[in-house]
Amino acid sequence: MAHLYALQGAMASRSEAALLTATKEIIATQGIKNLAMIDIADLSQVSRATLYNHFRDKDAVLYSLLSREIIYLFENAPKNPAELLEYFSLAISADSALAGMRSQDPAILATMLMRNDDKIWHAIDAFFQSALGSETKAGIAIAWLLAQVLQPLTPEQSRAQSAQLLHAYL
């Protein structure tokens, strides 16, 4: 019986991963305004019933996608502050969903960037405070990274600016 539950859990994880991957692909090509639950189900090749078993609505899918992306970045982030800033800068600048939102949904993207009391923002703050050693340094780094969501950098710019930021402020 335990084997059956393990199999069901693995299938649920695969379904959720497929749904989130499809969501990111749709955002990258069509933006958030044009994102529909039916399109997520179709692209992920998951039934609508399964989609709604995982997520109650589009906002829940988007929140889960954002959480997954942040967790992935945290888990794979280098420990060295110079490498850390460049790593996040490159990830932000190269992200296809952010690029789609910049072209399709700039107002939605700008609204999402406004800091609030959401637990994701608290996790981001805590991560950078721990990695950089102070609230002030974390605030400077986060502000620099948030600017890149709206205006991405080339890899060369990411490398140069992260080094300059570390030297001047951190």
Give the per-residue pLDDT at 81.
87
Q: What is the DSSP letter of 77?
A: -
Q: Token pair 């620099």 is at which residue?
A: 144
Report the residue count for the chain: 170
Give the per-residue pLDDT at 4.
44
Give the per-residue pLDDT at 1.
55
- What are the structural domains, with CATH classification, of the chain? 1-62 (1.10.10.60), 77-170 (no CATH)
Give the per-residue pLDDT at 5.
47
- In the chain, the N- to C-terminal Cα span, in Å, equals 54
Give the per-residue pLDDT at 8.
46
> CA 68, CA 62: separation in Å to the nearest integer?
10
> Mean pLDDT by 10-residue block, N- to C-terminus, for the chain (170 residues)?
47 82 96 94 93 93 93 94 92 94 90 80 93 92 92 94 85
Name the region of 140 (left: φ>0; alpha: ψ -120 to 50; beta: rest). alpha
